[in-house]
Amino acid sequence: MDVGPGGPSERMVHILHIACPIAVVVLFAAFPIVRFFTQAKSKQASYSVGATRRNRLVWLTPAVCVTFSQLRPGDLYSQNTTIYALASILVWATVSISLLESKAPLWPAYIAAWTAGAVVDAVLLGLFCKNISLDSGWDFTRLSVHAARSSLFITAVVYALCSIQRDNKMEAGADEETRSLLGSTHSRTQNGPDSASPTAYGSIPGDTGDEAGHIGDAESDDDDGEREIKEMQQKRLEEQGGWLGYLRSFVIFLPYILPYKDRPTQLWLLVMAICMAVDRVLTLMIPRQLGILTESLGGMAGTGVVPWKDIAIWAVLQFPIHACTSMLEQMASTRVSQYAYRRLTEAAFAHVMTLSMDYHTTKSSGRVSKAIEQGSNLSSVLDSGFGIAPMVIDFVVAIIYLTSYFDSTMGFVVIATAMAHAYVAFKGNGLIMSYERELNETSRGENEVLYDSITNWQTVAYHNRRRFEQERYSKSIWKAVMARRKYYDGNGYINAVENFVMEAGLVAACAVVAMRVAAGTAKLSSFVFLISYWDAIRAPMDSLSWTFHETASHLIDAEWLYQLLQTKPSVGDKKGAWDIRLKGGRVEFKNVSFAYGPDRPIVQDMSFTAEPGQSVALVGETGGGKSTTLKLLYRFYDVTSGSVVIDGQDIRDVTLDSLRESLGAVPQDPSVFDQTIMENIIYARPSATEADVIDACKAARIHHQIMKFPEGYATRLGERGVRLSGGELQRLAIARVILRRSSIVVLDEATSAVDSDTEALVQQAIRALSAGRTVFTVAHRLSTVVAADMILVVDGGRVVERGTHAELLALGGKYSRLWAMQTMVSG
C-alpha cells in the first residue's frame, strides 16, 4: 500500500477524519429533526430500555471520548489527526450528554451514530494496522486503544439492539431487562385524543380532564387556561402532522407582522437589516483594529511616533459608526415591533367584536382579554428572529475566523466552551423556570389576599377580624418574599456558573495564544485581539438559550391568538346583504323556533305581528323565552326555523350594522363605561348635542338626580356604574334610547328596579318615546304593560294567549291568574 505523503492511504485517512464526525452529527440529528417536523407525537414510535441497561449505555459514550485522547501530533498523518481527535471528542461528548439528559431517548438515532462510528473506526483501524511497527511500544498502545474504541462502538450497537423495546406499554409482570427489540412481538398502541369538550376558544376542543373539575379560584383558573392552551397546541400538532405543518399554520399572522403595504415601516425594516449587517462587520473589525493598534504601539515604543492613523480608524469604528448603527437599529426595531403589535391587537379586538352572543356569553372576558394581550406579544417574534440571526452569525464567524487566524485548537476551545455554556444554560433555565412559576404563584396569592381583604372590609369589620387578616396577609407576603429571594439567588448562581465557563474558556484560549506568542508563531496583538473579540463570543452564548426560550413562549402566546382568530361568528352578513330599508317598523315573527342546543328548545313555533307604532308586551314566567325572543329580533342568534321580518325584509338578508342601528334597547341589567355620565349617554348617538342629552335625561326623569352630583354630567360613574343605584342605571339606559331615536324599541324589564312613584314617571317617558315607534316590552310586573296594544303570554316558548289587558282578563286564563296573584300580593 502507498503510505507516502499524498498516497491513497493518507488521502483515505484524511477523508475519513473529516467525514466521520460529520456523518455522526448528521445521522444523530437527522432522526429527531425529521420526526419533530413531520410526525405528530401520537404517531411517533416510542422506545424504552431498562434503567440498568440504559445506565450501561450512558457510560459507553464517555469512554469513547477518553480513547481519542491518545491521538496527538506527530502520529501517522499528523496534519489532521488532532482535528479529528478534537472534533470527535466534541461530537461524542454531545451524544453522551444528550443520552444522559433525555427522558425518552430516540434510540435509533444513537444506534445510527454508534454504527457510523464503528464502521469508520474499523476502516481507520485497518489502515492503521498496515502502517505501524509492533516493535514500538507506543504504536502497540495506540493500536490497543483504537481496537478498544471499535469494540466499544460495536458493543453499544449490539447491546442497544438487544435492549430496546419498541412499545411504551409493556405487559404487566414482564421483566423489561429481558425485552428485546429484535425479539419483540408487540405492536405499538396509539391512543387517540381523549374525549373533548368545547374549549375557551373557537371550535377546537381540548381535553378537560378530571383534574380540572375542582378548580375554582383565580389562580387555578389561570393555570387551567395555560394547561388548556397547551393541550390545544398538542392537538393541533397531531392534526398538522408535526411541527412543520404546525408552524406553517401561523402564516396567517404574516400580513400583520410584516409591513407589506406600510412604506415607512418597510424603510425602517431596511434600516434595521443594514445596521445589523454593519454591526456584524464591526463586531470583528473593532477587536481586529485594536490588535493592529496595539502592535503599532509596541513597534513604536520609545520612538516618539504616535500611530494616529490606527487610533483614528479604531475611534471611527467605535464612534460614530458603531454608536450610530446601534442607535438606528434600536429605533428601527422599536418601530417594526410596534407596527406588528398595533396590527395584531387591532385585528384581534376587531375580530372579538364581530363574534356573536353565543361566544361572549360562554367565554370568560378575562380569557378573551388574555388572548388579545398575549397574542399581541407575537410581535416580539420579529425581535427574536432579528436577535437570533446575528447571534448565530457572530458565533459562526468567530469559530471560522479564530480557527483560521490561529489553528484548530482554538476552534476546539471555542466550541467546547459553547457546549459547556449551552449545557449550563439549559439546566439553569429549567431550574429558573421552576423558581419563576413559584414566584408567580406566591405573588398571585399575595394579591388575592390583599384584594379579598380590602373588598370585604365590611365583613372584616363586622366580625372584628382585622388582626386575623393582617396575619394572613403577612404570611402571604413572606411566602412571596422567599420565592422572590430564591428566584434572584438562583439567577445569581446560574449566572456565576455561566461566567465561570466563559472565563475558563477565555483563560484556555489565552493560554493557547500565549504559547503561540512565546514560540514566536503569533504576534502580541493576537493576544489583545482575542481578549477584545471574546465578547463577540460571549454575547451569543449568554443570549441564545434565553432567546429560544422566549420564542417558545411566543408560540404559546400565538396559540391563544390563533384559536381566537379561528373562531368564526355564528351570526354574520350573508353574501349580497343590503342595508335595511325601514318603512314604519312593522315586525313579523313567522313560525319562529329557536334552540340553544338539541336538548334546549327555547322558542317554539312563535308567530305574531307588531304594526308600526304598536306596543307589544311579552309576559310570563321566568325562563319562558321572552328575552330570547327579543334577542332574535336583534339577531344575536339566528332562528332555528321560521323567520323574523321587518317591513317585509327577512333580517337575515340585511346587514347586521343597519339592523342594529335601527333598534334601541333598554336591557334588564344596563351596563355603563367607567366614564362620565355625559359620555355614557351620548354613546347612543355620538352626533347628539349636550342639549339633546339633557332633554333625553329630563324625559327619562333622571336629570335632577344627575344635577345633585357636584360635577353634574361630568361625574364619572366608576366600574359597573357603582355611583348610581339600580333604578338610576335603568333610567340612564332609557335616556340613551330616547336620545338614539330608534324606529323600533326593545324594553327588557325597563322598570324592574324603580319604585312605584318613579315607575309612573318613567312610564310617561316611555309613552312619549313610543309615539310613532314599534315598542317591544318584556315584563314580569304586569302593571307596567296594562296599556300595551297587544300582550303576548309566553309559556314554554309558545304564545299561549294574546290580546289587550282587558281581553286577557276576560279570557280568564294564565294572564288572569298572574294578574290576580300580583294584585293580591301588592294589595
| Percent of the chain at pLDDT exceeding 90 | 21
Q: 807 lies in which domain range?
A: 573-662+777-827
Over range 493-508, report the average pLDDT. 91
Q: Among 646, 644, 610, which residue's Cα sits nearest to residue 629?
A: 644
Q: Quick one: pLDDT band at residue 327, thresholds 50, 70, 90? A: very high
Lowest mean pLDDT among 54-58, 214-218, 417-421, 543-547: 214-218
Q: What is the pLDDT of residue 381?
A: 65
- Joined grid coordinates for residue 159: 447491546
Is residue 797 within 8 A of residue 811, CB to CB? The reply is: no
Where is pLDDT greater, at 803 or 624?
803
Beta strands 601-610 and 587-595: pairing type?
antiparallel
Over range 465-483, report the average pLDDT. 94
Do 598 and 507 have their domain in common?
no
Q: How far apart are the first and last CA of the chain?
A: 122
Domain-terminating residue out of 129, 148, 178: 178
Is residue 702 within 8 A of residue 750, CB to CB? The reply is: no
Contacts of 546 by beta carbon, 8 Å cutoff, 6+ apart: 425, 429
Instruction: Determine the Cα angle at 647 with ends 644 and 651, to 5°.
Output: 35
Do 32 and 138 have their domain in common?
yes
Do 488 and 580 have their domain in common?
no
CATH number for the domain harbouring residue 789: 3.40.50.300
Domains of the chain: total: 3
Q: Is residue 307 part of a domain?
A: no
- Joined grid coordinates for residue 688: 347628539
Q: Is residue 550 part of a domain?
A: no
Q: Is residue 55 part of a domain?
A: yes
Do 515 and 455 have their domain in common?
yes
Long-range CB contact pairs, 654-659, < 8 A, 24+: 654/577, 654/578, 654/579, 654/580, 655/573, 655/577, 655/578, 655/579, 655/580, 656/571, 656/572, 656/573, 657/579, 658/578, 658/579, 658/580, 659/580, 659/634, 659/635
Sheet holding 641-646, edge to edge: 601-610, 587-595, 641-646, 649-650
Q: Is residue 592 part of a domain?
A: yes
Do 515 and 583 have their domain in common?
no
Do 580 and 498 have their domain in common?
no
Output the CA–CA distances (angstroms, integers) from residue 199 to 204, 227, 359, 373, 421, in the order listed: 7, 11, 11, 19, 41
Where is pLDDT greater, at 364 or 417?
417
**Which contiguous run of DSSP H or E holds residue 794?**
strand 790-795
Q: Is residue 501 part of a domain?
A: yes
Q: Is residue 648 part of a domain?
A: yes
Do 16 and 122 have their domain in common?
yes
Is residue 120 within 8 A of residue 19, CB to CB? The reply is: yes
Do 507 and 592 have their domain in common?
no
Over range 307-334, report the average pLDDT. 89
Tell me the per-residue pLDDT of 608-647, one tens digit each, with 9 for 90 and over. 999 988 899 999 887 788 888 888 999 999 999 999 999 9
Do 583 and 465 have their domain in common?
no
Q: Is residue 439 part of a domain?
A: yes
Do 111 and 51 have their domain in common?
yes
Tell me the per-residue pLDDT of 693-738, one tens digit each, with 9 for 90 and over. 999 998 888 898 899 999 999 999 887 787 888 778 888 988 998 8
Do 578 and 482 have their domain in common?
no
Domain-terminating residue out of 521, 547, 564: 521
Tell me the per-residue pLDDT of 90-141, one tens digit each, with 9 for 90 and over. 888 888 888 888 877 888 888 888 888 888 888 877 777 766 555 555 567 7
Q: Among 539, 656, 610, which residue's Cα sits nearest to residue 284?
A: 539
Domain-terminating residue out of 455, 490, 521: 521
- Joined grid coordinates for residue 47: 422506545
Q: Is residue 555 part of a domain?
A: no
Q: Quick one: pLDDT band at residue 254, thresholds 50, 70, 90? A: confident
Whether 480 shows a pLDDT value over 60: the answer reads: yes
Q: Quick one: pLDDT band at residue 203, thresholds 50, 70, 90? A: very low
The pTM of this model reads 0.67
SS3 of 576-634: CCECCCCCCCCEEEEEEEEECCCCCEEEEEEEEEECCCCEEEEECCCCCCHHHHHHHHC
Tell me the per-residue pLDDT of 655-692, one tens digit each, with 9 for 90 and over. 999 999 889 888 878 888 889 999 999 999 999 999 99
Tell me the per-residue pLDDT of 79-90, one tens digit each, with 9 for 90 and over. 467 777 878 888
Q: Quick one: pLDDT band at residue 219, thresholds 50, 70, 90? A: very low
Tell me the per-residue pLDDT of 418-467, one tens digit each, with 9 for 90 and over. 888 888 888 888 888 888 889 888 988 898 899 888 888 888 998 899 99
Whether 209 shows a pLDDT value over 60: the answer reads: no
Do 577 and 517 have their domain in common?
no
pLDDT mean across residues, the chain: 80
Q: Quick one: pLDDT band at residue 192, thresholds 50, 70, 90? A: very low
Where is pLDDT greater, at 369 or 385?
369
Whether 342 shows a pLDDT value over 60: the answer reads: yes
SS3 assignment, position 176: helix
